Structure 1
Amino acid sequence: MSGTDDQQGQHYFTARPASPEQRRTLRVHLAGRDVEVETAGGVFSPDHVDLGTQVLLRTVPAPPPRGDLLDLGCGWGPVALTLALLAPDARVWAVDVNERALDLVRRNAVRLGLTNVVAATPDDVPDDVRFAAVWSNPPVRIGKPALHGLLTRWLPRLAPGGEGWLVVGRNLGADPLQRWLVEEAGLPTTREASAKGFRVLRVAP
């Protein structure tokens, strides 16, 4: 969350942000190409691809070419759009509680000609869907209990052989989170990279 969002008390992890939309377009680099996307106020990092997401996208291997892929906490969509561009034959679930963010993901998918993106609230994802990959810059600022609940809801839904990739700030508890995933959640987790103050964690149940 940016300093401006903190000062205004905006919460991009609520369903309907109270802040003005203030829609804008950005030129960003996703999946090896420069593209134009739409963003708005009241969503995470509306003016750029945040540093943590940049670290994640530079670190993870290519996604599986088929199957269901999940961007957990999608915001306006940099991770989901990257997955969809890299794996056009996969179905990409962009999941968030923020309705404004989901609307932006849908708009951006249309803008980029992507037909394989499904933007959905958590409860709108069918229970029987299993994911070949989960990529996430999770919303750590929702607090430990909520974050732990989020991760234990979705990471066990990885398909056999699937991998989860998380980027978490070192100063925001990446190392304790890794220990918790291993010792309490029972999810084998390794640190795969460390860059610019972030850890990239691989979860392979």
Structure 2
Amino acid sequence: MTADHYFSAEPAAPENRSRIEFTAAGRAYDLAVAAGVFSAGRLDPGTAVLLRKADLPTAAAGGATFLDLGCGYGPIACVLATEAPAATVWAIDVNARARDLTVENAAALGLADRVHVAAPDDVPDETAFDEIWSNPPTHVGKAELHALMERWLPRLKPAGVGWLVINRNLGGDSLHTWLTSLGWEVVRTASQRGFRVLRVTRKTG
């Protein structure tokens, strides 16, 4: 038998549901989680660093469109939609159980009308993003991680911003170098608890 991974499309393990509590931008969150999804036992330390160190949107974001790439049970998507109450958030994940949890958590927070949960292939081709947020799945391997970045970062709007958090020991610095080699402007805005927070934009000039 092959064990489930958080990037399995259809986890077979029992859900063993529980809840995770955390604080972001001074607000308390209490979200449903289950086995077979990413970091089901706690808010992932990388996600915590990203939400603490990156520039979270505000109400000034207006009608912006954000992407939570690899949403898991939805902590990033829920924080983005809460902090920017007029924005639309796409939350995508290959894991069907993760998507179901994100739908549930967004609804419980009154965000269901603005958090669109989908499998990656179900996002309309014409949808572009003002911001992309991701704690990407490094354990899928470098080739898959690079393919993920090559697929989604180009869907940033011309002035769009990508926010990524990567464990230094799992290729954070090499990802920085690789993205730069592709022509992206990459700035390490923070380094904490072994994680790199990268701000990714198109080069200007």
Do these two structures clear the TM 0.5 threshold for a shared fold by scoring above it?
yes
Pick the TM interval, shorter chain: over 0.9
- Whether the 8 Å contact between 2:24 and 2:52 is mirrored in structure 1 is no
Counterpart-to-counterpart distance in 2, 1:87 and 1:18: 35
Q: Any unmatched runs of 5+ in structure 1?
A: 1-7
Question: 1:76: which partner in 2?
Answer: 73
CA displacement at 1:9 relative to structure 2:
2.8
Match of 2:106 among 94, 106, 109: 109
CA displacement at 1:24 relative to structure 2:
1.5
Counterpart-to-counterpart distance in 2, 1:24 and 1:12: 16
Question: Deviations for 1:126-150, whole angstroms, at most 9, x for unmatched residues?
Answer: 0111100001000011011111000
Question: Deviations for 1:151-177, whole angstroms, at most 9, x for unmatched residues?
Answer: 010001101211001000000011111
Counterpart-to-counterpart distance in 2, 1:71 and 1:36: 18
Question: Deviations for 1:2-48, whole angstroms, at most 9, x for unmatched residues?
Answer: xxxxxx83211021012211111232223421232111000001121
Counterpart-to-counterpart distance in 2, 1:178 and 1:53: 18
Counterpart code for 1:108? N
- Whether the 8 Å contact between 1:75 and 1:102 is mirrored in structure 2 is yes
Counterpart-to-counterpart distance in 1, 2:21 and 2:75: 12
Question: 2:9: which partner in 1?
Answer: 15
Q: Give the match's secondary structure for 1:167.
A: strand
Match of 2:26 among 27, 32, 57: 32
Question: Deviations for 1:72-102, whole angstroms, at most 9, x for unmatched residues?
Answer: 0000011000001011111100010000000
CA displacement at 1:191 relative to structure 2:
1.0
Question: 1:159: which partner in 2?
Answer: 157
Match of 2:130 among 129, 132, 140: 132
Counterpart-to-counterpart distance in 2, 1:67 and 1:182: 26
CA displacement at 1:190 relative to structure 2:
1.5
Counterpart-to-counterpart distance in 2, 1:32 and 1:128: 35
In the alignment of these two chains, the number of paired residues is: 197
Counterpart-to-counterpart distance in 2, 1:26 and 1:56: 17
- Whether the 8 Å contact between 1:31 and 1:85 is mirrored in structure 2 is no
Alignment of structure 1 residues 1-205 onto 2, 5 Å: 9-63=3-57, 64-114=61-111, 115-183=113-181, 185-205=182-202
Question: 1:5: which partner in 2?
Answer: none
RMSD: 1.2
- Whether the 8 Å contact between 2:66 and 2:129 is mirrored in structure 1 is yes
- Whether the 8 Å contact between 2:129 and 2:156 is mirrored in structure 1 is yes
Counterpart code for 2:42? H
Counterpart-to-counterpart distance in 2, 1:36 and 1:53: 15
Q: Give the match's secondary structure for 2:184.
A: coil
CA displacement at 1:68 relative to structure 2:
1.0
Counterpart-to-counterpart distance in 1, 2:190 and 2:155: 24
Counterpart code for 2:14? P
- Whether the 8 Å contact between 1:30 and 1:78 is mirrored in structure 2 is no
Counterpart code for 1:174? G
